[in-house]
């Protein structure tokens, strides 16, 4: 019963609302919707995270991330070539380290020939035009699955930072373009910047995982790099509490002060408010990580026929742009790039 209409017309025949503003006019056709659209997703917004595994010609599915695989270095090169063909600006590498190479101090992180360094060198050689980002943290290499050194149940900060600086230098020597510390130790961005500069890597960028939350949405990633079963306890003494917002601004301020070139908020969709606040407060290049659990949720529902996966993919990525992100790390990168190229 359109009550408002009857009152407005005082019982007279309904001839329509006397309103001048009709937002629906702009939505009436595709051409008009495209004209007034405020935000768009383009291929230039994408960073593609890839999982590296030992071997040759090897691709291995990840159960909790359907459609994503662990790949040997030669296969990583193929995907980097595909990314370049699609126009994706950058790729990022995460290693699945063999169990026998994991130890309490994560010493494989400092092996100049570890999987990440191999992938960086191979991709630099084969696809020199693509940007390469590498993760700095110890968790793919430690037997306990933590991002830092563990002593009596506590994660040591300063001792860990010393190792992260070395890890960064080794990745820079291999040829990485962006160092992305995801460990959440205090003071690591400044220490890494100083280390890089001293060693002559002045042009290697730092993208700080500045506001990284202790999140349940990393589950499938830990499965992908094989740390899920190993992880002793949780990461709440170094990753942020999901109840905090202002603290994210403090973390970003510190990382920028210490020399970060860009910052990241992680996870993505549950933290769109943080992206907006960071972008508004600092106006610096701000990235979102649509993490493994976000990808897995959409894929699980799509594969069950519960939602339209293609549309959910595009909508979720566009939401990051609307929230103020300059770009997104997403496992959907090649799929959405194909779609954008097709003009869909």
Would you tell me which residues interact with ligand PBG (CB under 6 A)?
135, 137, 139, 147, 182-183, 218, 221-222, 235, 291-292
For residue 302, the minimal CB distance to ligand PBG (Å) is 18
Active site amino acids: 212, 266
Of 133 and 302, CB closest to ligand PBG: 133
For residue 197, the minimal CB distance to ligand PBG (Å) is 24
**Residues 49, 264, 202, CA angle at the centre, nearest 5°?**
85
Of 203 and 241, CB closest to ligand PBG: 241
Of 323 and 328, CB closest to ligand PBG: 328
User: SS3 for 236?
Assistant: coil
Torsions phi, psi of 238, nearest 5? -130, -35
For residue 326, the minimal CB distance to ligand PBG (Å) is 19
User: SS3 for 12?
Assistant: coil
For residue 286, the minimal CB distance to ligand PBG (Å) is 17
Of 5 and 101, CB closest to ligand PBG: 101
Annotated binding-site residue? 251 = yes
User: Within 13 Å, how many C-alpha atoms sit on residue 257's CB side?
Assistant: 8
For residue 204, the minimal CB distance to ligand PBG (Å) is 19
For residue 246, the minimal CB distance to ligand PBG (Å) is 22
* Cα gap 6→3, rounded to integer Å: 5
**Full DSSP string of 122-187:** HHHHH-TTSEEEEEE-STTTBTT--SSEEETTEEEHHHHHHHHHHHHHHHHHHT-SEEEE-S--TT
Q: What is the CA radius of gyration of the chain?
A: 23
Tokens of 320: 């990051």
Residues 6+ apart with CB under 8 A from 181: 135, 136, 137, 164, 168, 188, 189, 192, 206, 208, 209
Specify burial of residue 106 (Cβ count, 10 A radius: 0-12, 13-18, 19+).
buried
Buried b (16+ CB within 10 A) or exposed e, 254-271: bbbebbbbbbbbbbbbeb
Of 212 and 277, CB closest to ligand PBG: 212
Of 72 and 239, CB closest to ligand PBG: 239
Nearest to 115 by CA among 70, 179, 180: 70
* Cα gap 317→311, rounded to integer Å: 10
Residues making up the binding site: 251
Residue numbers belonging to the annotated binding site for Mg(2+): 251
């Amino acid at each position: 019963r359109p009550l408002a209409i009857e009152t407005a017309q005082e019982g007279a025949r309904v001839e329509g609302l006397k309103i001048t503003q009709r937002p629906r006019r702009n939505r009436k056709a595709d051409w008009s919707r495209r004209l007034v659209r405020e935000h768009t997703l383009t291929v230039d917004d994408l960073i593609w995270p890839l999982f590296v595994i030992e071997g040759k010609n090897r691709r291995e599915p990840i159960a909790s991330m359907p459609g994503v695989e662990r790949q040997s270095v030669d296969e990583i090169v193929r995907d980097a070539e595909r990314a370049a063909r699609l126009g994706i600006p950058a790729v990022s590498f995460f290693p699945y380290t063999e169990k026998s190479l994991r130890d309490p101090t994560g010493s494989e992180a400092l092996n100049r020939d570890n999987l990440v360094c191999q992938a960086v060198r191979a991709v630099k050689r084969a696809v020199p035009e693509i940007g390469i980002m590498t993760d700095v943290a110890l968790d793919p290499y430690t037997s306990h699955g933590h991002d830092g050194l563990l002593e009596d149940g506590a994660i040591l900060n300063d001792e860990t930072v010393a190792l992260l600086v070395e890890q960064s230098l080794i990745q820079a020597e291999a040829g990485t373009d962006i160092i992305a510390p995801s460990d959440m130790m205090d003071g690591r961005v400044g220490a890494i910047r100083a280390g890089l500069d001293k060693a002559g890597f002045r042009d290697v960028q730092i993208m700080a995982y500045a506001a990284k939350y202790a999140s349940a949405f990393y589950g499938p990633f830990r499965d992908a790099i094989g740390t899920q079963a190993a992880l002793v306890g949780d990461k709440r003494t170094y990753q942020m509490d999901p109840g905090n917002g202002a603290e994210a601004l403090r973390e970003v301020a510190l990382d920028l002060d210490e020399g970060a070139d860009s910052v990241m908020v992680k996870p993505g969709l549950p933290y769109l408010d943080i992206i907006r606040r960071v972008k508004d407060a600092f106006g610096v290049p701000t990235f979102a990580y649509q993490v493994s659990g976000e990808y897995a949720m959409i894929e699980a529902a799509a594969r069950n026929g519960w939602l339209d996966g293609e549309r959910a993919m595009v909508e979720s990525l566009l939401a990051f742009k609307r929230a103020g992100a300059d770009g997104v790390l997403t496992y959907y990168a090649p799929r959405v790039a194909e779609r954008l190229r097709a003009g869909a």
